[in-house]
Amino acid sequence: MRAAPAQAARRDRATSAPPLPLPFAAREEDLAWLDACLAEVEGSVVAARIVGEHGVGKTRLLREFLDVAASRGDIVIQTGPDPWGAEVGYYALRWAIAGLAELPHDGGNASNWNGATPEARRGLLEIFGKGDRAADVRRHAWNKPAAGGLSPDDRRFIAAEALRWALSRAQQSAFPHRVLLAIDDLHAVDGASRNAFADVIAEPPLAALLIVASHTPGFEPGWGGAVRALGGLPKDIALSLLRSSVSLDHRAARKTPQSTGGARPSPRRDPSDGATADHVALGLPPSAATPAGLGGDAATVPPLYIDQLVRYTLEGGSDPPARMADLVAARIERLPQDARRTLQALAVIGDAADRATLQRLLPDIRAFDELLNKLAAAGMIEEHSSGIRTAHPLLRDVTLATIPAGVRRDLHAKATFDSAGDPLALPLEVQAIHAYHAQNAFVALMLLEQAADRSAARGDTAGSVLALRRGLDLARREIFRGELDDPVRAVLIFSRKLGEALARAGDLTDADGVLREALDLAGPGGPDRALVLGALAHVAHQRERTSEASMYLREAMDLARQSADSDVVQSLDKMRREWMAR
């Protein structure tokens, strides 16, 4: 009999709980805009982009639109970032091509590539990792590829050719239906794939299809097309969703203090202000609404914030933070310890986790079914046939940001090994990220250097710069930690390589600054100083500072001769002869 009131309370709570996720609402105009873009597909490629902050519903809008298109018989192919969040080279492009051309996940072989040009075939070999990686390394920024080798521009061209072939093949197979290629979270896609998408849109094949992507504001994808700025939901819609989700009387009773002793007084409000009263009664902080959406004048609330607010309220929370990241962090903090640890492990692993991986990272937890069910019920994770993933990229980012440093280091250190202690067959970029966050300096620097070289070889200058910045940051930290035998030389090497990468990216001012700092670290002689001077000469020549470039080059060649480094001497002399030939 004593248990009856508690059981009744649980039943009442379950009855009052809203259906989650919240209904898709107030996006009719956005769907109509996407339909209009699709209607323009007649004899050419049409490009469109949805731009919005995290949590405004870009992915859900795209999913709703694609579901409707698929129900009409249109062919829908979806791609996006790699599940580890490591910008694995060609990942998004591989999925796009495999889906468009109906290839196996490994790309198949030449028998599957009917109608592909020689350039497209070479691109397919490169994209699916069947090509020769021996030429991935360019020793210096001023070096040109060896005869018969592929330059970064060559690789970028053949990758785009492979995508053009796949788009044409998809359009021919789908006729008379239309083809849609959707790229979610384009800002998180690897640079080589982004380059291919941009190049194909700039020079499209003779195919009728729609390429639609979503990304955050401030990101420049390298291609134009129609743009839809997506904001949050209007405040009245947000309040309506909250009213339909949570009983107003129930909420008010929960927020009414039992006594005023020691309670914080509520700020004074105008009783006639109904909107403010709704904000208070429903738990929506007035400052949670942004002043204006990206494309409108009225204050808006991100749908993800509304979803998190409802869940936070049902979990017994009060005084919700106005910032979405803070609200997510507050919900994570309220989780039971083992559930929170499980979520942290999932965030470290990425969006392709499974129970075996969790067991390896958290061996002291015997069973995960109950914990995963709890996290799924809380809307923090989703479980699919492909694995277990966090429910939203922002949730993963906040989880990673709130993991204690030592815990995160240990999780990353375990993430690259199987239960027998043998290395897992993970992509190079993923291994580099785990070693970087595990603070395994020697391994991380080696892997980051390789990742930077591969990115540069693919024409992904942004990826190369990012990997080298991480390497430089780690090398600088090692000066104080002392785990490397010569951390100062590691800083020198990564500074030089970063300067060269910035020069390849066209950021000559930053390249000059980084290389000058490297020159200060180099000794008065030796090959390291010669290489830095050579890079400075290359940058100065690119900036059309001829006398400065000649001065750097002469000093670099003198030091290289003194060090008897014939390879560097030949490389510098070749650069000098190329200058003279222009």
Q: Residues 345-380: pLDDT tens digits?
A: 999 999 989 999 999 999 999 899 999 999 999 999
Statement to judge: residues 510 and 473 lie in one domain: yes
Does 309 reside within a domain? no
Does 47 reside within a domain? yes
pLDDT at 264: 38
Measured in degrees and rounded to the nearest 5, phi and psi for residue 260 equal -90, -5
Does 566 reside within a domain? yes
Angle at 232 between CA 242 and CA 58, to 5 degrees: 115
**Cα distance between residue 302 and residue 305, in whole Å:** 5
Does 215 reside within a domain? yes
pLDDT at residue 530 above 60? yes
**Can you give the residue range of the structural domain that contains 569?**
428-581
Question: In this structure, are strands 387-390 and 381-384 parallel, antiparallel, or unpaired?
Answer: antiparallel
Does 4 reside within a domain? no
- Bigger pLDDT: 58 or 563? 58
Which of 229, 251, 275 is the last residue before a domain boundary? 229
**Cα distance between residue 582 and residue 577, in whole Å:** 9
pLDDT at 145: 66
Percent of the residues in the chain that have a pLDDT greater than 90, as a whole number: 69
Does 459 reside within a domain? yes
Model confidence band, residue 569 (pLDDT cutoffs 50, 70, 90):
confident
Statement to judge: residues 464 and 375 lie in one domain: no
pLDDT at 196: 98
pLDDT at 289: 64
- The residue whose two tokens read 């970087």 is 436
Question: In this structure, are strands 300-301 and 179-183 parallel, antiparallel, or unpaired?
Answer: unpaired
Statement to judge: residues 83 and 197 lie in one domain: yes
- Bigger pLDDT: 198 or 581? 198
The pTM (predicted TM-score) of the whole model is: 0.87
Statement to judge: residues 572 and 470 lie in one domain: yes
> Does the CA dihedral 314-232-190-158 come out positive or negative?
positive
Report which of 211, 222, 95 is spatially closest to residue 162, judged by C-alpha positions.
Answer: 95
Statement to judge: residues 450 and 542 lie in one domain: yes
How many domains is the chain partitioned into structurally?
3
